[in-house]
Amino acid sequence: MSNVHSIVSSTSDSTVGSVRQIKIPATYLRGGTSNGVFFKLSDLPLDAQLSGEYRDRLLLRVMGSPDAYGKQIDGMGGGSSSTSKVALISKSQQADHDIDYLFGQVAIDQPQIDWSGNCGNLSAAVGPFAIEAGLIDPARIPEQGVVEVKVWQTNIQKTLIIHVPIVNGQVQEIGDFQLDGVAFPAPEIQVEFIEPAEGQGAIFPTGNLRDCLSIPGLGDIEVTLINAGIATIFLDAHRLGYQGDEGQEAVNTDLEMLAKLEMIRAHGALKMGLIEHLEQAKARQHTPKIAFVAPSKAYLHRTNLVGMGVLPLQFMTGMNRLTLDLDGSELFDVRGVIQPNARLTLTITRRDQSSFSVSVICRLETEDELDVYQAGGVLPRFAEQFLTKEKPL
C-alpha cells in the first residue's frame, strides 16, 4: 500500500488573499483498474470537511486539475479518467456500518469534480484503507483470515461489504490474483454490492426493458437504461457503426463519435431522471456511463486447440502480440513442466535471430485436457485407446 503524505499548496485564502502551505496525509491506492487518492475526512482542513467550493478547489489542486496539457503532471492524477479519482473516508454515521465512503471523479482539463456516482473499481481499496487508517477496531483484525468492512457508499446511498484478506495481522498486499488490465498480480478483494438497484429494486428506472431516445441529427436510438450501482446506457454497437470489439483508442480518438456519444449520454440522463435539462449533463461527466453490446463473434476456443494437439498459452496481463511486436515469423520455444494452469517460460526468436523470454500461462485446464494434448490431439488419443483396447476372443 503506497502511502503519500502530500504537501499541498492551497488556493488563495479568501479572507487575506495569501497563499499558505499545508500538509495533508493522503494515501495513493489502486482498486481494480482504477487509482485514486484517499483521505480521512478528519485530516482535511475544517472548511474542506464540508462539501462545497473550498473542498473542490483543494482536491482539484491535489490532483493537478485543470490541466490544459491533459497530463496532471503537477498533481497526483494520472492523466486518465481511471487515475483521476478521490475518496473521502470517515467513521460511519449510519447504524450498523463501519465507515462512510464518498467518491469524486476529478475532471482532467476542467475545474470540476463529479460527486454523482460511485467507482466500483476503487471501492475494493476502501476496506484496506479503512484498516490501515485505524478506522476499524483492531480487535476485529485476525492474525490470519479475512475482515469484512461494511461501507455506506454516500454517493449512491447504498451498502458495500468489502472482504479484506489479512496476513500476519496486516492487510495482505502480495498475492497471485491476476486482473485483466492490471500488469501485476495482487490479493483478490471481493466486494458485495447490497441491493444496488435504485428504490424498491427498480433496476430499470423508466420501468421499461427498452426505451427510445429521439436525438436531433441521430434519429431514434433504442437503448436499455439500467441503474444498478451506477447508471448506464446500453445500446447496440452496430447502431453507431461499430462491431463491438473496437479498442479504447479507436473510440477515444474519434471526435465526431465522442460528440454523438455525449448527446446520447445527455438524452439518456434526462430519460432516467438524473438531470432536468440537457445542459446539466456537462456537469455530470461521471454518470451515466455508456456500454456497447454486440453479438459474439466466432473465436477459436482453447479447447479446439487442445483437440488439435496444440498447446494453448496465454500471455500475462499487459502483454500481447502488439506490445511484443510479433509479426508471425517468430519461432517459439516453451520451457517448464506442462501441467494445467502452470506458469511457463516462452522464448521468442525473431527472424534476425535475436531472442527474448516472457512468462506465459498454460491454458490446459484439466488432467483430461493434458492427456489429450500429450496424445497429440483428440483423434490420435482415440486411435491410441482403440488400438490398445482389449478385444474379446
**How does pLDDT run across 44-63, given as a tens digit for each residue?**
999 999 999 999 999 999 99
Q: Which of 48, 62, 47, 76 is nearest to 8 (CA)?
A: 62
Bond preceding residue 392 cis, omega within 30 of 0: no
Q: How many CB atoms lie within 10 A of CB 225?
A: 26
pLDDT at residue 296, as a whole number? 80
Cα→Cα distances 95→36, 103, 199, 300, Å: 27, 20, 19, 52
pLDDT at residue 16, as a whole number? 40
pLDDT at residue 18, as a whole number? 63
Give the chain's mean pLDDT. Answer: 89
**Three-class SS state of 228:** strand
Cα(42)–Cα(50) distance, integer angstroms: 10
pLDDT at residue 198, as a whole number? 61
pLDDT at residue 382, as a whole number? 76
Q: In which residue ranges of the chain is pLDDT below 70?
A: 1-18, 198-201, 298-300, 386, 389-393
Q: Which of 103, 89, 66 is nearest to 287 (CA)?
A: 103
pLDDT at residue 199, as a whole number? 55
pLDDT at residue 219, as a whole number? 93
pLDDT 10s digits, 89-143 = 999 999 999 999 999 999 999 999 999 999 999 999 999 999 999 999 999 999 9
pLDDT at residue 389, as a whole number? 63
Q: Are 151 and 196 in contact (CB under 8 A)?
A: no
Which residues are within 8 A (CB) of 296 and not within 5 positions of it... i.e. 6 or more apart?
A: none
pLDDT at residue 203, as a whole number? 87
**Three-class SS state of 361:** strand
Q: How many CB atoms lie within 10 A of CB 202?
A: 12
Stated pTM of the model: 0.72
Cα(229)–Cα(221) distance, integer angstroms: 24
Q: Which residue has the cell 428504490?
A: 199
DSSP string across 179-194: -TT-SS-B---EEEEE
DSSP strand pairing (289-293 vs 34-40): unpaired
Task: Strands of 138-245 (E only): list them.
Answer: 144-153, 158-167, 170-171, 190-194, 211-215, 219-227, 231-236
